[in-house]
Each structure stands twice: as C-alpha cells, then as structure tokens.
C-alpha cells in the first residue's frame, strides 16, 4: 500500500492484520512526521502512543466504540500542546503569553499538520491509517484517560496497523469544487448541482439515502450523521473543557 507516487490512490484502512508495527518503525514514522512544517519551529504538539489493550478499551467509549480503536495495533492521540513550550520559556526567564485563542489555533494547526505527516509516513511504509473524527467530541474523557495536563488538548486520533483489506474508495469532489483562482468564487445553484452530481450518483450514496429513509444525501448529513443538536451538545462540552484546559479570554 505504498502511496508515495500517487496520493490519489490512498485509502482509509479500518481493518488490520495481527502483524505488529515494530518499535523502530513506529519511531521512524514519528521522527519523519516531526519534520512537518510548524509555526516558528515551536513544534506545538505531542502524540500519545497507545498499544496496551486495556488502554484502548478505556479509550473506546470516547470514540463511540469504533472497532478500529481496539482492532488496530497502535492508536495515536495527537494533541495541541503549549505545556512543554511554556515550561521551557519559564525556565529560561521568558514570560509566555499563550493563554489566548490565537495560541490555541496555532497549536491546533501544528498538531493537524503533524498528524497528516504521520499518515503519510505510515502509508509510505505499507501501514494503513484511519482518522477518528470523534476526538474533539469527547475531549474531556480522552484527556482524563491520558492524563493530559493544562494547555494540552486532544485534536486528532489515528489508528495504525497493517491492512487487512484495501479499504474503500469514497470518492472526492472535483478539483473545481475546492480550488479558487485569485479570488473566492461563490457557488451558484447550477455549480452545486454539477459539483455534487458524481457524489450523489454513487451506489453507496444511494444506499445511505435509502437505509436512512431520506430524500437526499444532504439530508443524511444534516438529519442523521451530523445533526444540529449533536453539534451544539458537543460544542458545549468542548467549550467547558477548553475553559479548564486552555483558559483564554
């Protein structure tokens, strides 16, 4: 599953074999990822490596029991981390001023870029990966399980393992949908119809619509998968968590 020369063929892998990832290979992946771009070369991120089955079991509920949490060889929780940098500043007679929204966003960007570099480095070695989109939903539970200190916020979780299958091609919108030249060009109704036509015509999209009793694929997202009520509830949980974990005005 080497995607080095054709990133368009990469696949999310959710099922893994029993083959373990060696410590040397994992260390090499993290080492490669640490050379990702970072704000001011501050490296405002950390990663918690979970291999112990009991710890995976402890984390699983925070990820809604997704099977890849316990089914993977390695679970990685990537965190926005100003804790280490602030301590360095204080020990070097420098006064840090990072208890603010800008700093949280900066560290979040660093962590996100680092996470994606982990994915690339892993897949270059034939290791499958999957982002778990549940990390910020239950950030307090994850922080408690991993004993994250102040100024450390979980941003992304990755499952890693040698692939048990080739994964599924989920399709992507055409490049015209995401690329704007010189200025942002807003979308007309005709643009939306054209850009989403292929996605809506997929067999799996029709299946999603049918099995959820909806009229359109968009309704599957708004009414079932990512509802207003769920987004607002998780927003409140995250807001309260950040007030304690990363207080800012």
- Write the CB contacts of 74 (distance below 8 Å, at least 6 apart in sequence): 21, 26, 49, 50, 51, 159, 160, 161
Instruction: Write out pLDDT tens, residues 139-164.
Output: 999 999 999 999 999 999 999 999 99
246 falls in which pLDDT band (50, 70, 90)? confident
- C-alpha span between 79 and 46 (Å, rounded): 5
Asked if residues 161 and 74 have their Cβ atoms less than 8 Å apart, the reply is yes
Q: How many CA atoms lie within 13 A of 245 on its CB side?
A: 26
Condensed to tens digits (0 to 9), the pLDDT of residues 59-100 reads 999 999 999 999 999 999 999 999 999 999 999 999 999 999
Place of tokens 């304690």: 244
- Split at pLDDT 50, 70, 90, the class of 1 is very low
For 7-168, CATH gives: 3.40.109.10
Mean pLDDT score of the chain, rounded to an integer? 95
Residue given tokens 């990832």 in the structure block: 21
Dihedral-angle region of residue 40 (phi above 0 means left; psi in -120 to 50 means alpha; beta otherwise): left
d(CA 137, CA 95): 33
**pTM, whole model, 2 decimals?**
0.93
Supply the DSSP string of 103-114, one letter for each residue: HHHHHHHHHHHH
The 8-class DSSP code of residue 225 comes to I
pLDDT of residue 247: 77
pLDDT level of residue 5 (50, 70, 90 thresholds): low
């Amino acid at each position: 599953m080497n995607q080095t020369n054709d990133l368009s063929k990469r696949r999310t892998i959710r099922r893994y074999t029993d083959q373990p990832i060696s410590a040397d290979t994992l260390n090499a992946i993290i080492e490669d990822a640490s050379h990702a771009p970072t704000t001011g070369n501050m490296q405002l991120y950390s990663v918690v490596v979970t291999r112990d089955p009991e710890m995976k079991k402890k984390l699983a509920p925070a990820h809604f029991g997704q099977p890849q949490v316990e089914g993977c060889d390695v679970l990685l929780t990537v965190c926005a981390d100003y804790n280490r940098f602030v301590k360095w500043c204080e020990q070097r007679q420098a006064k840090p001023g990072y208890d603010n929204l800008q700093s949280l966003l900066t560290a979040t960007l660093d962590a996100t870029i680092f996470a994606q570099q982990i994915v690339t480095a892993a897949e270059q070695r034939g290791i499958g990966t999957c982002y778990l989109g549940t990390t910020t939903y239950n950030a307090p539970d994850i922080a408690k399980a991993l004993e994250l200190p102040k100024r450390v916020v979980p941003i992304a979780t990755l499952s890693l393992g040698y692939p048990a299958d080739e994964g599924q091609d989920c399709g992507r919108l055409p490049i015209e949908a995401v690329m704007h030249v010189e200025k942002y060009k807003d979308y007309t109704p005709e643009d939306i119809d054209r850009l989403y036509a292929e996605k809506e015509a997929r067999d799996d999209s029709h299946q999603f619509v049918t099995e959820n009793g909806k009229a359109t694929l968009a309704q599957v997202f708004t009414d079932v998968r990512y509802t207003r009520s769920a987004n607002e509830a998780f927003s409140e949980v995250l807001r309260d968590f950040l007030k304690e974990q990363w207080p800012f005005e």
